[in-house]
Amino acid sequence: MEKKEYSMGELMKRFLPYYGKYKHILILDLICAGLTSICELVLPMIMRQLTNMAANNAAALTVQYVLQLGVLYLGLRMIDGAANFYMAGMGHIMGTYMETDMRRDAYAHLQKLSNTYYNNTKVGQIMGRITNDLFDVTEFAHHCPEEFFIAALKAVFSFIILLGVSPLLTLLIFICLPIMFLVCLKINRKQKAVFREQRHQIGELNARIEDSLLGQRVVKAFTNEEKEKQKFEEDNQKFLGIKKHSYHIMAAFSTTNRLFDGMMYLIVIAAGGIFLTKGLISAGDLVAYTMYVSTMIATIRRIIEFAEQFQRGITGIERFLEIMDSEIEIFDEPDAVEMPAPKGEIVFDNVSFEYSDDHNEVLRNISLRIHAGEKLALVGPSGGGKTTLCNLIPRFYDVTDGKILIDGEDIRKYTLKSLRGNIGVVQQDVYLFSGTIRENILYGKLDATEEEVIEAAKKAEAHEFIMNLKDGYDTYVGERGVKLSGGQKQRISIARVFLKNPAILILDEATSALDNESEAAIVKSLDKLSEGRTTLTIAHRLSSIQNSDRVLELTDDGIREKNELLTGR
């Protein structure tokens, strides 16, 4: 997946609109953040008042007055508790809402991306971006506005109050802050780079695990368990190295800030003590001053601790945007219309095609007419472009030059949904979803009745073997249909297409991986499926093309007829 660089301004500009639906929660969350800050800022003022009264006017410091201050502070703490409850609950829920919206948008965009994108992108990387990365965005969405608002509020109010207590001491304290922030900014940049590298390596690790586990039968068949362990360990150790580096940076970050904390406390102790001996500050003011400095340092420390979460969130947003900015190569034209029920005539008009990523030319100047209802077989060497030619019809890829017409109309005139809805594909590599046989057949027509499902299975010669299974149509097929044989999976995929009932049918080496007995049953069901439909059959076995009307050979020099392959014609 291509890496892009985003400025902080661009990241925020793209992310902020996700707050739109939940601005009422955000506003209330910030109000609560303000209330908790006020409650915290009042305590030093109370302590200042008590200390100064005890030192200067002890007679006025009555039990009743102390109790009144206590009741005031109790009320503030109750407000603080209620505000914190809302922040901790609804604040996080708002972040979860935003995470859900972003994941929905990412998944919807992934559905629009072409086969080229998936040919060049590891599934583990994609999964990491729409799961782990967006978990961090939840915390970022909640805490980022909240933490910075609280920090700004406390910094401004503390500065104003401290300035009123002792301008000179305040100036000495605040001289440290710009230096502190410059150092933190430099370390933060390193953190961002290492978190990005860490996220990428998580994706690589996920991809390695997925590849190894899905291919575990091949691993066992070739007794390559140790080799897979070795490859996994290499990626695992690389991830360990990146995490160790990230923790070293975090340690440097934390230590630097503790040193600056100590410097500010040193200034308060040394300068404040001298001012107290010179009568430039009262005891109560120094107590209040120390508490405000402690509050400010605690706020700075909280922001610093949030810095790791901030960088993780920024990295998550960045990786999310890389998905959203992946180009949609195949899309509906602005004036696209619904495709009417086609008769099924297909014309390739001087079609050329090359892959956009490597510009490898696969087809050049192909012109071909397939009559409505005709059964056409395509033969030729592997890699000759037969599958690619057929994939151009439902626009899994778009032609580079020329055009494809169905019933005299350019296929780009129609919406992708309506075009693909009229085309059925049966592939060599059958993909069944984890679930039941019924659910997999229903994929051809989601609102089909039970009777329609059974009828489709009967036409595909699948009903009998399904009923012999313990749970019949409710049989769980396993990951990618692993619990079924190749022939059984293929018949379910054919039943799925029967249920879809398309006008145009593409059979992509649908029997090449089967034994003779299974092939005979599948060919029988495919013959039923192709009746009355325009059918393109890609095949290597002669048995698969005997019922075709024409046979065409696709070579580097173009297309030529090979009807002599049809025995008895």
**Is 403 contained in some domain?**
yes
Query: Residue 513 has what pLDDT?
Result: 55
Query: Residue 255 has what pLDDT?
Result: 81
Same domain, 298 and 396: no
Query: Residue 567 has what pLDDT?
Result: 60
The distance between the two most distant Cα atoms of the chain, rounded to a whole number of Å, is 123
Query: Would you call 344 helix, strand, or coil by DSSP?
Result: coil
SS (H, E, C) 451-463: HHHHHHHHHCCCH
Q: Please list the residues that pair with 376 across neighbouring strands.
A: 536, 550
Query: Residue 515 has what pLDDT?
Result: 60
Same domain, 45 and 176: yes
**Is 158 contained in some domain?**
yes
**CA–centroid distance for 156 within its chain:** 39
Query: Residue 101 has what pLDDT?
Result: 94
**Is 331 contained in some domain?**
no
Same domain, 491 and 525: yes
User: Which strand ranges, in their side-by-side order, compose the sheet holding 401-406?
Assistant: 361-370, 346-354, 401-406, 409-410
Same domain, 406 and 553: yes
**Is 440 contained in some domain?**
yes
Same domain, 157 and 301: yes
Same domain, 63 and 208: yes
pTM higher than 0.85, yes or no?
Answer: no
Same domain, 374 and 503: yes
Query: Residue 371 has what pLDDT?
Result: 93
Q: Looking at the 3D structure of the chain, how many domains does it have? A: 2
Query: Residue 528 has what pLDDT?
Result: 80
Q: Which helix (H) or strand (E) holds 560?
A: strand 558-561
Same domain, 185 and 299: yes
Same domain, 320 and 350: no
Domain with residue 491: its CATH number is 3.40.50.300
Query: Residue 247 has what pLDDT?
Result: 81
Instruction: Return phi, psi of residue 413, to 5°.
Output: -75, -25
Query: Residue 568 has what pLDDT?
Result: 52
Domain with residue 183: its CATH number is 1.20.1560.10
**Is 286 contained in some domain?**
yes
The one-letter amino acid at 314: I
**Is 2 contained in some domain?**
no
Query: Residue 310 has what pLDDT?
Result: 82
Please give the Cα distance from 143 to 95 (Å, whole number): 9
**Is 332 contained in some domain?**
no
Q: Are the C-beta atoms of residues 204 and 124 closer than 8 Å to each other? A: yes
Query: Residue 277 has what pLDDT?
Result: 84
**Is 303 contained in some domain?**
yes
> What are the average pLDDT values for consecutive 10-residue runs of the chain, which has 569 residues?
74 92 93 89 80 72 82 90 92 91 92 83 80 84 87 82 79 77 74 75 76 69 76 84 82 79 81 81 78 77 74 85 88 91 92 80 89 89 85 91 94 93 86 88 91 90 90 87 84 88 86 63 78 86 74 81 64
Q: 82 to each of 32, 33, 37, 124, how far by Cα in Å?
A: 8, 11, 13, 42
Same domain, 195 and 80: yes
Q: Which domain holds residue 396?
A: 346-565
Same domain, 453 and 535: yes
Same domain, 527 and 393: yes
Angle at which helices 167-214 and 225-277 cross, to 10°:
170
DSSP string spanning 533-563? SEEEEE-SSGGGTTT-SEEEEEETTEEEE-G
Query: Residue 418 has what pLDDT?
Result: 93
